[in-house]
């Protein structure tokens, strides 16, 4: 090109400056008419309802989301920079493993790679504590529902007191289930 940069340089620059772009395809028709097709990385969720996390770990402003994607699940996180710095490497893998069904069913708070809090949207008195590594189990929703049904069968989730039951699944071959009545000094109840 006489005035500017060539196609390969343009594509490299787009990938560098627009990390949300996964693929660039350029078609030039006879007569010199061109068409550029951009394919973005798959959006996984919104973060703090202001940004969007893509499958490659990039965070972009939510304004880039098409209206049809506005129903993405939201993940609450406090310690990340909004420019994409500080996003844990395990987060995209972890959210992909949890899957869209679970992300719609639970409100997710990422505290650290060692602690994710999943609060059941349909039953806020039930929550799961997991980690990025333990969230990679096969069919996590099945596992979490098993514990929830056990608590429901014992009548523990629909009580008038403001206790929340937690299923801590961070440990190998065991689940620790406990209740926190809230407030200081109330302690926990284990089943």
The model's pTM is 0.70
Query: Are 108 and 64 in a shared domain?
Result: yes
- The domain of 3 spans 1-40
Query: Are 36 and 47 in a shared domain?
Result: no
Q: Is 118 strand, coil or helix?
A: strand
Q: Give the domain CATH number at 63.
A: 3.40.50
Query: Are 63 and 30 in a shared domain?
Result: no
Taking the C-alpha atoms of residue 7 and residue 26, their distance in angstroms, rounded to an integer, is: 8
Number of Cβ within 10 Å of residue 96's Cβ equals 14
Query: Are 30 and 51 in a shared domain?
Result: no
Query: Are 90 and 109 in a shared domain?
Result: yes
Range among 70-79, 144-153, 156-165 rated most confident: 144-153
pLDDT of residue 185: 45
Provide Rg for the chain, Cα atoms. Answer: 22
Query: Are 56 and 147 in a shared domain?
Result: yes
The two three-digit tokens of residue 72, written as one number: 């993405």
Residue by residue, DSSP assigns 90-144 as HHHHHHHHHHHHHHHHEEEEEEETTEEEEEESS-TTEEEEE-TTGGGSSSHHHHH
- What mean pLDDT is predicted for residues 88-93? 75
pLDDT of residue 129: 93
Taking the C-alpha atoms of residue 4 and residue 115, their distance in angstroms, rounded to an integer, is: 49
Query: Are 116 and 181 in a shared domain?
Result: yes
Query: Are 144 and 173 in a shared domain?
Result: yes
Query: Are 26 and 83 in a shared domain?
Result: no
Residue by residue, DSSP assigns 26-82 as EEE-TTS-EEEEEEEPPEEEEETTTEEEETTS-EEEGGGS-GGGTT--EEEESS--T
Q: How many domains is the chain partitioned into structurally? A: 2
Q: Which residue has the higher pLDDT, 65 or 95?
A: 95
Query: Are 129 and 87 in a shared domain?
Result: yes
Task: Grade residue 79 by pLDDT with cuts at 50, 70 and 90.
Answer: low
Query: Are 14 and 72 in a shared domain?
Result: no
pLDDT of residue 160: 65
Q: Which of 125, 129, 106 is nearest to 181 (CA)?
A: 125
Query: Are 161 and 80 in a shared domain?
Result: yes
- C-alpha dihedral sign at 136, 142, 145, 147: negative
Residues in the chain: 191
């Amino acid at each position: 090109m006489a005035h500017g940069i060539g196609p390969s340089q343009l594509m490299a620059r787009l990938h560098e400056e627009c990390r949300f772009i996964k693929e660039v395809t350029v078609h030039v028709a006879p007569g010199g008419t061109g068409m550029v097709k951009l394919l973005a990385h798959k959006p996984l969720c919104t973060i703090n309802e202001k940004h969007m996390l893509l499958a490659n770990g990039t965070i972009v402003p939510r304004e880039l989301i098409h209206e049809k994607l506005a129903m993405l699940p939201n993940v609450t996180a406090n310690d990340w920079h909004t420019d994409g710095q500080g996003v844990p490497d395990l987060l995209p893998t972890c959210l992909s493993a949890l899957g869209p069904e679970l992300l719609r069913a639970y409100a997710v708070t990422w505290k650290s790679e060692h602690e994710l809090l999943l609060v059941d949207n349909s039953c806020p008195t039930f929550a799961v504590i997991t980690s990025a590594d333990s969230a990679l189990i096969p069919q996590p929703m099945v596992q979490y529902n098993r514990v929830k049904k056990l608590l429901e069968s014992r009548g523990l989730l629909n009580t008038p007191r403001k206790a929340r039951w937690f299923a801590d699944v961070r440990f190998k071959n065991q689940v620790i289930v406990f209740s926190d009545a809230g407030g200081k000094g109330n302690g926990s109840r284990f089943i």
